[in-house]
Amino acid sequence: MIHEVFKLLSIIIIRGDKEMTMEKMIEKMLIGGEWQGTAKNIDVYNPETNQVIGSVPNASASDMEEAIKQMKAAKEKVGVLPVHRRIEILQKAADLVDDRIESFAKIIALEGSKTITEARDEAGRTTRILQMSAEEARRINGETISFDQVPGSENREGYYKYFPVGIIGAITAFNDPLNLVAHKAAPAIAAGNYVIVKPTSETPFSALHLAEVLLSAGLPKEMLSVVTGSGSELGDPLVNSPDIGMIVFTGGLGTGEQIANQGGVTKFQMELGSNSPVIVAENAKLENAVASSVGGAFAAAGQNCNGVQRIYIHEDVYEEYTQKFIEQTKQLKTGEKLSEETDIGPLISEDAAKRIESWVEEAKEAGAEVQCGGNRDGTYYTPTVLTNVPTDCKIVDEEAFGPVVSLFRVADFQEAIERANAVNYGLQAGVFTQDVDEAHEAIDKLVVGGVMINDSSDYRIDSMPFGGRKGSGIGREGIKYAVESMSEKKVVCFNLEKHL
């Protein structure tokens, strides 16, 4: 039976954004398999209108401690879910999400920054993540070990097998409110783990709705908790608990460093963002390079961890590429999120838009030129193209996480690689070239987790290992790789000497 709050949410969605003056919905969080509230709530705003669309419990540190305590007791009592049950649950959850694509898309669009088109893509991607996780659950296989490779071990034989880590603490960000939760919870369940999700307070409804789907699909209620509230309040008890076997986190570098410093020897998987580069060689097919990079720079209003932020263009094609890039950027339509015609929605908050505005102003004062965009209206910031930006500006050196891209002229391919590497991030890079030697040079020399040849840096599928170098994170996402990282190998060895 669907939890009653989602019936209220469906009413709001059906009526559309124009009906947001209705009474706000009061959400509940999931602890120990029970939906429960707190004395105080956190309001959730539609960033486009600044209207309250609902509220969620403002959990305390003691609430998180109770969630961990109950989950530890349940894990010891219930044990590990059989593989066939994990497969059934995840596949059924995928079917349920697929049946509710439009409902999920409206939730994503209302509470976050994405347009309705982008939100539908995210909901569809979540269906595939659940399906892939079901498939990977059946592939958790160990291997035999040849112990007789060592003299004196001729009578030994054995193998290793995988066991779940235990309890996974999952902390998610706002930019993919449904997909990021699925990317953590689904592989964790596939590996047989229990999961506590702490979604961002800016976009918590997608996480709660996905939890309802997983429970409806048959997941034992003890295996999942979703605790809402302030990260500063809930982060410490989650990260510091000795009962948490692994922390998986998507967010900023500063928070990631703080978690790593607190967590000690706990296992981590962290995706900490980037300011991804694209290289355009003199022989690149410019039409493809421009179209791919415009999409990679401005999708989700630039709030994309592997979105294009810096583009290094060979001087022989710089003028033509820049002209085409600006022309295509100007064609993008900024507007209402729920409109089918909108390409770019708002940023997640006015503070985020003001930060981008200040970074662009800093660059302008240092000599940068605004070729298009550069205007803020509330939470909206127009798609912006900068040139002649000094390399020490924040907009070049740090993660912008907004609809701003900087274009640079370079003398040769080697200079482009050196400048692409000259930041403390390394998630993915895009390289446009028709020269196979240049492609392999970029593959070998770029200090990143992925090199996309003749694609922008934001290309990704969920079956590939995804993660970064330097300040971009620790470990790899991607369903197969997440399942493996959320498992532990255990070696079994039989000494058969007495039986021979």
Q: Is 171 helix (H, G, I), strand (E, B) or coil?
A: strand
Nearest to 163 by CA among 70, 226, 79: 79
Give φ, ψ of 18 to 5 degrees: -70, -15
Alpha-helical runs (H) found in 217-349 = 231-240, 253-263, 286-298, 318-330
Please tell me which residue in 136, 305, 393, 399 is annotated as part of the active site: 305
Active site residue 305: yes
Q: Give dist(CA 314, CA 318) in Å, integer.
A: 6
Question: Can you tell me the distance from the alpha carbon of 181 to that of 191, in angstroms, rounded to the nearest whole number?
Answer: 16
Strand 51-57 to 25-26 pairing: parallel
DSSP bridge partners of 55: 26, 43
Of the residues 118, 212, 271, 477, only one is catalytic, namely: 271
Helix/strand/coil (H, E, C) string of 51-90? Answer: EEEEEEECCCHHHHHHHHHHHHHHHHHHCCCCHHHHHHHH
Alpha carbon of residue 173 to chain centroid: 7
Task: Compute how many other C-beta atoms are within 10 angstroms of the C-beta atom of residue 432.
Answer: 29
**Close Cβ partners of 258 (under 8 Å, ≥ 6 residues apart):** none
Instruction: Please state the φ and ψ torsions of residue 146, each to the nearest 5 degrees.
Output: -85, 85
420-429 burial, b at 16+ Cβ within 10 Å, e below that, comes to bbebebbbbb
Q: Is 493 a catalytic residue?
A: no
**238 burial type by CB count under 10 A (0-12 exposed, 13-18 middle, 19+ buried):** buried
3-state secondary structure of 400: coil
Angle between helices 179-190 and 116-137 (to 10 degrees): 10
Rounded-to-10 torsion of CA 460, 464, 470, 471: 50
Annotated catalytic sites, by residue?
A: 271, 305
